[in-house]
Each structure stands twice: as C-alpha cells, then as structure tokens.
Amino acid sequence: MPMHYSELSTPALTVDLDVLDRNLSCMAAYCREHKLGLRPHTKTHKTVEIGRMQLSRGARGLTVAKVGEAEVMLAAEPEELLVAFPVLGAEPLRRLAVLARTARILVSLDSETAAQRLSAAAVAHGVTFGALVEFDAGLGRCGLPPGHGCVALAKEIQKLPGLLFRGVLTYPGNIGGVEAQRHEQAQGVAAAVRRTIEAFEAEHIPVEIVSAGSTPSAFISHEISGLTEIRPGTYVYNDLNTYYQGACALEDCAARVVATVVSTAVPGRAIIDAGSKTLSSDLLRQGAQSGYGLVTEAPDALLFKLNEEHGFLDITASSRAFHVGETLTIIPNHVCTCVNMHDELFLLRKGEVVGTWRVAGRGKIR
Ligand SMILES: Cc1ncc(COP(=O)(O)O)c(C=O)c1O
C-alpha cells in the first residue's frame, strides 16, 4: 500500500517524479531545439538512476566534480564522463586512470602542472585522457583569461603523451541575476567565448568542444554563440535560488524536505526537526530574501535560524496555526548541498511514496 509523504519518518528528502521528469525533458528538448549537446552536471543529484534518465533523454555524457563522483556515476554507463575540476593528487589520478579503461574520461584544467600530472598518470596506466582548457568568462574562480593563454596551454597539452586536447570549458556562474540582467551577463560570456574561439582559429587549432552552461543561464545558452554543449546541474530539482533568480517557478522545485513540527512551546515560534544537517546552512545567493528555505504550507513563516537538528520558524506574521506533530514541506535554498546530506531520496507521485533511490555519490568529495 503506498504511503502518503506526511507519514514518512522525518526529516526526509522527497523528490516529485513528475516534476523531475518535466525538468529533465524540458532541458533535453531545449538542447535538441538549439542543437546544443547536453552534458549535465551530476553534482546536484549524485544519484545513478537520475544519471541514467539524463542519458536516456539524449545527454551526450555526464559531468562530475570529483573522481569519487565519477566512480559512482560510471554505473549509469555514460560513454564519456567529464571531470569539470582539475585533478592533481596522485591517488585520485590513479583512480581516474582505472576509470579510463571503462569510459572516455575528459578533465578540465587551467595549468601546466595539472596537464603534466594528468599526462604522467595516463602514461603510467596506459590510458588516454581528453583535456579541456578552462577559461574564465567572468566568474573569477578557475580558468585562464579568455584568448591566447588558452591556446598556449592547449599547445602544451598537445605535446604531452597520454593527453588529447579536445576543447575549452567555462562555467558562467556569473550569469545569475534576474532575467534582464541574465541576458546582459550572457553577452559578457559570449564575448569571452568568442575571444577564445578566435584565438584558436588564428592558430588553426581545431576545437571540438566548447562547453559552458549553468541552470540560471541554461535557457539562454543559444544567445552565446559558439557553444557546442551545456552542463546545467541544478535544473533537475531547482531550488529557492533558482526561483528567486526567476529561472523557474515554485512548481518546478522537485526536491523538498519533509519535516515535523516538534515544538511550539515558545510563543511566536515553531521548531521543526530539520536543521543545518538536513537543509544545509547555505543562504540565498541574492536579493533581500532571508531564511533557510521556504515552508510551502506557510510562506509567511520565516525559517530564520538553524541549529544542527532544529529549524527555528518565526510564525509571528503567519496567518496559520502550527501544531506539534504536523508535517511541513520545505524547498531548500541550495538543493545541491542539501542532497549531499541525505542517504536516500523518497520518490513521490501525487504525494504518495512510490520508492526510494540511494544518493550514492553523497559525501564523495575526493
Ligand atoms: C563547473 C561547473 N559546471 C556546471 C555547473 C552546473 O551549474 P548549475 O548548478 O547552475 O546548474 C557547476 C555548478 O556549480 C559547475 O561548477
């Protein structure tokens, strides 16, 4: 007999399968329409079953941040896995080389040191890695300045045994404002992409892959010409950050934490059993909004503080009565860090629990 989500032992992370399915299909359709490859970043879901769903909807491969995530995601059987993070340690490089016997492995990097270490690991284990040169399109995190420096590193990569230069990558995490800002920010990213592509053209070096993309920028990726693929991750679930950026509706938020009101003893407060070890302490990325998540049953209640196991709701402005023992549903601010704290997902269809999936990649930070 299916169980209603309100009967779950809490706190529990639930995923509405219909919403998940819609989010996956929308992104796949957008990429098909604009002839963009899709190589979704799996750091959001860390779940093999969702990796398989992405591949079956036409993703050309999967992206991970860590070798440990790659080891997990191989079970989804991607033909190609991109590690969008420089891998430098001898031990993770050895593990990555083992994976390269099963799937094609691509790694993004922005230094000669990273290229040399990747090459040494490839030679030692008799495998080949694809390499993407990362450039910075305005975020200021990893990546060489767009243009000639990228070509210089690509030339070094071409000289190194065991490496195949395949193209360039950037993470446009700086595209994150409301819609009007996003279009403008995309033009800045487009200029960086153009400068980089032109630098390669000037040296007659073919660039097979030009990889970018994020969730807030996903559906305007076609405004950045020259991209061959995008790597959105958060779009599978969406979250309050995505919502406040105007990049999704609340109904598109597939992952929600079910929590129980455990105390109303202090006037003006309701305490829930979801704290920082359930929701993560991440605040919203932008705007005047505060709080640690949206209580869908009481948007006028503010989740203003978290202890590890307790969430503090300010209910003074709420028109609703709160009762000990009732369940509430919370949309997290940042779903990726929230998912990373849960062993399993409870799968819902029309509010009924129809199964569970393991978050097999949770905690795989190496
Ligand atoms: C390198 C890289 N690519 C892609 C993504 C996916 O972006 P989003 O979570 O906005 O979908 C991220 C997110 O952190 C990233 O770091």
Pocket lining: 41 vs ligand 1, CB cutoff 6 Å: yes
**Domain count of the fold of the chain:** 2
- Burial label, 222 (beta-carbon count in 10 A; 0-12, 13-18, 19+): middle
pLDDT in tens, 200-209: 999 999 999 9
Report residue 226 as tokens. Answer: 């020259």
What distance in angstroms lies between residue 344's CA and the mean position of ligand 1's atoms?
A: 22
Report residue 178 as tokens. Answer: 């409301």
Nearest to 247 by CA among 190, 342, 172: 172
What would the DSSP string read from start to end of 29-63? HHHHHTT-EE--BTTTT--HHHHHHHHHTT-S-EE
pLDDT in tens, 130-151: 999 999 999 999 999 999 999 9
CA angle, residues 147, 148, 153, in degrees to nearest 5: 110
Beta bridge partners of 263: 271
Helix H or strand E encompassing 329: strand 327-332
Residue 299 lies in a domain: yes
Same domain for 167 and 258?
Answer: no
Same domain for 225 and 253?
Answer: no
* Whether residue 180 has pLDDT greater than 90: no
Same domain for 286 and 203?
Answer: no
What distance in angstroms lies between residue 170's CA and the mean position of ligand 1's atoms?
A: 10
State how far the Cα of 123 lies from the Cα of 282, in Å rounded to an integer: 41
What distance in angstroms lies between residue 228's CA and the mean position of ligand 1's atoms?
A: 16
Residue 47 lies in a domain: yes
What distance in angstroms lies between residue 115's CA and the mean position of ligand 1's atoms?
A: 22
Same domain for 163 and 216?
Answer: yes
Same domain for 257 and 231?
Answer: no
Indicate which residue's Cα is closest to atom 4 of ligand 1: 231
Mean pLDDT (the chain) is: 97
Indicate which residue's Cα is closest to atom 7 of ligand 1: 214
What distance in angstroms lies between residue 102's CA and the mean position of ligand 1's atoms?
A: 25
Beta bridge partners of 305: 312
- Mutating to test ligand 1, I would choose from 30, 82, 110, 214 the residue with most ligand atoms within 8 A of its C-beta, which is 214
Pocket lining: 233 vs ligand 1, CB cutoff 6 Å: yes
For the residues 39-66, what does the mean pLDDT come to?
98
- Residue 218 CA: nearest ligand 1 atom is 11
Residue 308 lies in a domain: yes
pLDDT for 285 equals 80
What distance in angstroms lies between residue 171's CA and the mean position of ligand 1's atoms?
A: 7
Beta bridge partners of 63: 41, 82
Indicate which residue's Cα is closest to atom 16 of ligand 1: 171
- Residue 84 CA: nearest ligand 1 atom is 1
Report the CATH number that the domain containing residue 278 is assigned in CATH: 2.40.37.20
State how far the Cα of 268 lies from the Cα of 322, in Å rounded to an integer: 10
- To the question of pTM greater than 0.85 for the whole model, the response is yes
State how far the Cα of 92 lies from the Cα of 121, in Å rounded to an integer: 10
Pocket lining: 231 vs ligand 1, CB cutoff 6 Å: yes
Residue 1 has a CB neighbour count (10 Å cut-off) of 3
Q: Which of 181, 213, 236 is the last residue of a domain?
A: 236
Residue 363 lies in a domain: no
The range of the structural domain enclosing residue 61 comes to 18-236
Same domain for 230 and 262?
Answer: no
Pocket lining: 234 vs ligand 1, CB cutoff 6 Å: yes
The residue written with tokens 């993309």 in the block is 213
Q: Report the SS3 class of residue 144.
A: strand
Residue 143 lies in a domain: yes
CA angle, residues 97, 99, 104, in degrees to nearest 5: 95
What distance in angstroms lies between residue 216's CA and the mean position of ligand 1's atoms?
A: 10
One-letter amino acid at 245 equals Q
What distance in angstroms lies between residue 233's CA and the mean position of ligand 1's atoms?
A: 6
Same domain for 211 and 308?
Answer: no
Same domain for 334 and 205?
Answer: no
Alpha carbon 9 to chain centroid distance?
A: 27
- Residue 233 CA: nearest ligand 1 atom is 11
Q: Report the SS3 class of residue 9.
A: coil
Same domain for 209 and 312?
Answer: no
What distance in angstroms lies between residue 301's CA and the mean position of ligand 1's atoms?
A: 30
pLDDT in tens, 275-330: 999 999 999 887 656 899 999 999 999 999 999 999 999 999 999 999 999 999 99
Percent of the chain with pLDDT over 90: 95
Same domain for 7 and 25?
Answer: no
Q: Which of 236, 263, 285 is the last residue of a domain?
A: 236
State how far the Cα of 316 lies from the Cα of 108, in Å rounded to an integer: 49
- Mutating to test ligand 1, I would choose from 43, 141, 219 the residue with most ligand atoms within 8 A of its C-beta, which is 43
The residue written with tokens 């929600």 in the block is 256
Residue 365 lies in a domain: no
Report the CATH number that the domain containing residue 177 is assigned in CATH: 3.20.20.10
Same domain for 264 and 220?
Answer: no
Same domain for 258 and 221?
Answer: no
Q: Which of 236, 261, 280 is the last residue of a domain?
A: 236
pLDDT for 1 equals 66
pLDDT in tens, 213-251: 999 999 999 999 999 999 999 999 999 999 998 999 999
